[in-house]
Amino acid sequence: MTEPGAALDHVRDQVGQVLSEFVGRQRTLATEVAGELRAAIDATADVLAGGKRLRAAFCYWGWRGAGRGDDPAIFAAAAALELLHAGALVHDDVLDDSDTRRGRPTIHRRFAAQHEAAGWRGAAAPFGQGIAVLLGDLLLTWTDELFHGSGLPATALSRGRAVLDLMRTELMAGQYLDLLEQAAGPGSVADALRVVTYKTAKYTIERPLHLGAALAGPPEAHPGLGGAYTGYGLPLGVAFQLRDDVLGVFGDPAETGKPAGDDIREGKRTVLVAIAREKATRQQAAELGRMLGDRSIDAAGVAAFRQLLAETGALAECEAMIDRYVTEALAALDEAPMTAAAKAALAELAITSTTRTR
């Protein structure tokens, strides 16, 4: 077995160093173009500074599960996923009109405040949104730059590129379905789980594992590994998002970095909310509908919403679902054709990613 935290900490340290050096090079290049760009690069560095590095960790252990050892190049390739994730978060914050991310103002809020403080022409909000779109795009562009400059052989990068491209397409599909779900009104639990599958489960766990395996060698070199990664990754990815749903309502802001009740104010139609709607009485459903998406909801309203989720049984059902999905993921590891070290690390990551408080 790995030491507690080792499966993630080792990757976090290595990936953090790669990202720090990469952003440092980009800062130098940008400031040679114009000094004003330094603030933009610093903003992207702040987005990259936080995070659990789970996608990079799953990519790395996908590589290790295929029998490969430590290599600076795999850390660089895995770090590219953190650039992808940061870009997606910047765009997601614009889509959700979020105020904070990891305890700091979101990019669009940050630059809108700069615009307003400087007394510049035009409206501050569209300026901030425009900068956020540009910086999100820049991070997505950097994904390819770091991936292809990782130092892995061209044949490995070609195999990995197919997985990375699929991963990005599935993420955008999940984002699109999520927007439709928010706009179209109350959906079923099945509808919400479909969004979770593409927006989170595949993107966070399954495809990073597949990417690591593809970089390690062709499928025939490790038969059955891709299927084992799917059997583990999809249920664990759903459990990961369900934990996020719970934290979005019940989490401690000091831990999550988001104000209490932000998911309620943003009207997020999560699996947790969908369960509550299906279990609610007519009166409870009306109350849920009234509060969900109310930007002015206060602490008392958040407490009332939490109480409804508990009274309908949605919270308990969501916790039970997390347990079932984690059990399914761990069972998939039992017969998986991978190294013992990788099995132990993935078992540890399953617990780490679903018992977290942020």
Q: How far apart (Å, rounded) are the C-alpha atoms in residues 308 and 320?
A: 18
Give the chain's domains with CATH numbers. 6-354 (1.10.600.10)
2 pLDDT exceeds 70? Answer: no
Element counts in the chain: helices (H) and strands (E): 17, 2
Q: How far apart (Å, rounded) are the C-alpha atoms in residues 132 and 136?
A: 6
Q: How far apart (Å, rounded) are the C-alpha atoms in residues 76 and 62?
A: 14
Q: What is the mean pLDDT of residues 169-173?
A: 96
- pLDDT at residue 154, as a whole number: 98
Structural element, H or E, at residue 271: helix 271-279
CB 137 within 8 A of CB 78: no
Q: Which carries the bigger pLDDT value, residue 220 or residue 184?
A: 220
Query: Which residues, including other chains, have CB under 8 Å from residue 83's CB and lie 6 or more apart?
Result: 19, 48, 139, 140, 142, 143, 146
222 pLDDT exceeds 50? Answer: yes
Q: What is the mean pLDDT of residues 236-249?
A: 95
Beta strands, E only, the chain: 100-101, 104-105
Q: What is the mean pLDDT of residues 350-354?
A: 94
3-state secondary structure (DSSP) of residue 278 = helix
Whole-model pTM: value is 0.94
CB 174 within 8 A of CB 193: no
110: its two tokens: 């940050």
Task: From residue 173, give the alpha-carbon distance in Å to each of 148, 168, 197, 198, 357.
Answer: 24, 9, 10, 7, 28
3-state secondary structure (DSSP) of residue 8 = helix
Q: For the chain, what is the mean pLDDT?
A: 94
137 pLDDT exceeds 90? Answer: yes
- pLDDT at residue 5, as a whole number: 66
Q: How far apart (Å, rounded) are the C-alpha atoms in residues 255 and 275?
A: 25
4 pLDDT exceeds 60? Answer: no
- pLDDT at residue 63, as a whole number: 97
CA atoms within 13 A on the CB side of 174: 23
3-state secondary structure (DSSP) of residue 351 = helix
Lowest mean pLDDT among 75-89, 153-167, 178-192, 280-294: 178-192
3-state secondary structure (DSSP) of residue 68 = coil
Q: What is the mean pLDDT of residues 245-263?
A: 86
320 pLDDT exceeds 60? Answer: yes
pLDDT digits (tens, 9 = 90+) for 8-52: 898 999 999 999 999 999 999 999 999 999 999 999 999 999 788
Q: What is the mean pLDDT of residues 296-323?
A: 96
Task: From residue 135, give the alpha-carbon distance in Å to each of 42, 132, 190.
Answer: 11, 5, 34
Q: How far apart (Å, rounded) are the C-alpha atoms in residues 222 and 219?
A: 6
310-348: b or e for each residue (b if 16 or more CB lie within 10 Å)? eebebbebbeebbeebbebbbebbeebebbeebbbbbbb
- pLDDT at residue 139, as a whole number: 98
pLDDT digits (tens, 9 = 90+) for 47-86: 999 788 999 999 999 999 999 999 999 999 999 999 999 9
100 pLDDT exceeds 70? Answer: yes
